[in-house]
Amino acid sequence: MKLQIVMKSWLLKIIFVFLIAIAGFLQYEYDNHADYFRAQKTFVTLPPGKTLKILSFGFHNLTADMLYIWSIQFYSNYNLTNSYLYLEDIYNAITDLSPRYKEPYLVGSWIMAIEAKQPEMAIRLLQKGKKNMPDDWMFDSESGYCAYKYKKDLKLAEYYYSLAASNPNAPEFLKRQKAHMIFLEDDWDDAYIVWLDIYKKAKDDLERTSATNHLRQIKFEIDNRMFQARISSFVQTYKRFPRSLNELQRVGLIDEIPKDFDGKDYIYDPSTGQITAQRMSIWKKSF
């Protein structure tokens, strides 16, 4: 005997609405209990960039774009606890797909240096960009900043800023960056030479003013170093501070009293033996 279920049309509609309402309610309850933004691990697997390029069947630029956009959303998601494990692979894949696409190198390096705290990884990515776009000074400039700010390696920063500044398309401020790195390394003599060169070749007031401010401090640091050494010798001999800088000259400790960068006399405090310049800008030494 066959069982036949015959339902009226209106009853079917009511059952449909009822079931949809139940499904909606269940979803509401699920959302109340689920923690979508809890800390959790993730897993990402990508073929190497060259393989992806073949698998994209001519749409490698589009694939690079989509992967790049996805990576921005992925790294904006801070509840993923192990996302930085895949950082270098993801950005290598994007840059292999489209080697002359600039933004992934820059954005990737920022995520690596600032968020993942891996400045060496950032510099590797930036140098890969330089290899693919040798005419662009930006990669060396960013490498220099990364070395200075995040790796705290002034020598390396100086090296990259030097490379960036030597690019014919590079803006003038990169020379100032290089000079500032030399200053931060406490190599005042070289810093003075580099800043003086910038001062003499300055093309606008901003550059000239910047160079002047740096030179004031550097000249002071160089002269102060010499003064303090001479004053120490004087104190050892005469058991007191010199009454003036001229006294140092009289006793033969210095041949000539240097002036500050503006050609003005230094101000000497005989009670403390300290020297100050009449006008000086102090640049941060620690970073």
Partner 1 sequence: MRIKAIAFNTFKEAVRNKVFYLLVVLGIVSALSSVIISMLTLGDKEKILKDVGLASIDFFCVLIAIFTGINLVYKEIEKRTIFNILSKPISRGSFILGKFMGLSLTLLVALSSMTVIFFIFLFLATGSFDFKILAYFFLLYLELLVITSISLLFSSFSTPILSSIFTISLYLIGTVSWTFNEFKNQLTPVANFIGHILYYILPNLAKFNIKNELVLDENLNSYLIFNGILYAVCYTSALLILTMIIFRKREFQ
Contacting positions for partner 1 (CB under 8 A): 54, 57-62, 65, 68-69, 72-73, 98, 100-103, 106-107
Give me the residue label for tokens 């930085």: 84
Secondary structure (DSSP) of 206-230: HHHHHHHHHHHHHHHHHHHHHHHHH
Q: How far is CA 256 from the centre of its chain?
A: 43
Least Cβ distance, residue 81 to partner 1 (angstroms): 23
> With respect to partner 1, which residue has the nearer C-beta, 130 or 214?
130
Min separation Cβ 138 and partner 1, Å: 12
Q: Which one, 17 or 69, has the nearer CB to partner 1? A: 69
The sign of the CA dihedral 229, 232, 236, 239 is positive
Give the DSSP H or E segment for 268: strand 267-269
Indicate the residue type of 286. Answer: S
Identity of the residue, 60 or 208, whose beta carbon is nearer to partner 1 in the bound complex:
60
Alpha-carbon distances of 202 from 69, 173, 198, rounded to whole Å: 41, 10, 6
Q: Which C-beta is closer to partner 1: that of 52 or that of 231?
A: 52
Tell me which DSSP letter residue 101 carries.
-
- Residue 106 Cβ, how far from partner 1 at the closest point, in Å? 7
Picking from 244, 194, 262, 286, the residue whose alpha carbon sits closest to that of residue 277 is: 262
Which of residues 110 and 173 has its CB atom nearest to partner 1 in the complex?
110
Minimum distance, C-beta of residue 48 to partner 1, in the bound complex (Å): 13
Distance of closest approach, residue 193 Cβ to partner 1, in angstroms: 38
